[in-house]
Amino acid sequence: LAKTTQPISMDSYEGQEVNITCSHNNIATNDYITWYQQFPSQGPRFIIQGYKTKVTNEVASLFIPADRKSSTLSLPRVSLSDTAVYYCLVGDYGQNFVFGPGTRLSVLP
């Protein structure tokens, strides 16, 4: 399984765009990149998944460069309710999720 590295924590202010970058240097050809969000005492919630280039949904965008050795989750105009832990996961469809420590995002007023 490809190992991922993310910043342990980030601070932002309401209304700003937040970009969280995840490194996965040994990503395999069949691996997908998935991001989850978790609030305290709740289960993780799926945000977005991609394989290459850019994926966008109503919540976030995921940017994946051509070499796929990293990915960036972009959250537009964050609010206080976006304060959470964000996990980057990499794996093939035949594998199970391996959660790292994630990035603790704090959105300040």
Partner 1 sequence: KAGVTQTPRYLIKTRGQQVTLSCSPISGHRSVSWYQQTPGQGLQFLFEYFSETQRNKGNFPGRFSGRQFSNSRSEMNVSTLELGDSALYLCASSPKPGHTEAFFGQGTRLTVV
Binding residues vs partner 1 (CB under 8 A): 31-32, 34, 41-46, 49, 87, 89, 91-102
Nearer to partner 1, 29 or 109 (CB): 29
Q: Smallest gap, in angstroms, from Cβ of residue 92 to partner 1?
A: 6
By beta-carbon proximity to partner 1, the closer residue of 1 and 16 is 1
Q: With respect to partner 1, which residue has the nearer C-beta, 11 or 92?
A: 92
The number of C-alpha atoms within 13 Å of 107 and in the hemisphere containing its C-beta is: 19
Task: Decide: 97 and 38 in contact? Cβ < 8 Å.
Answer: no
CB 74 within 8 A of CB 19: yes
Q: What is the token pair recorded at 39?
A: 């609030």
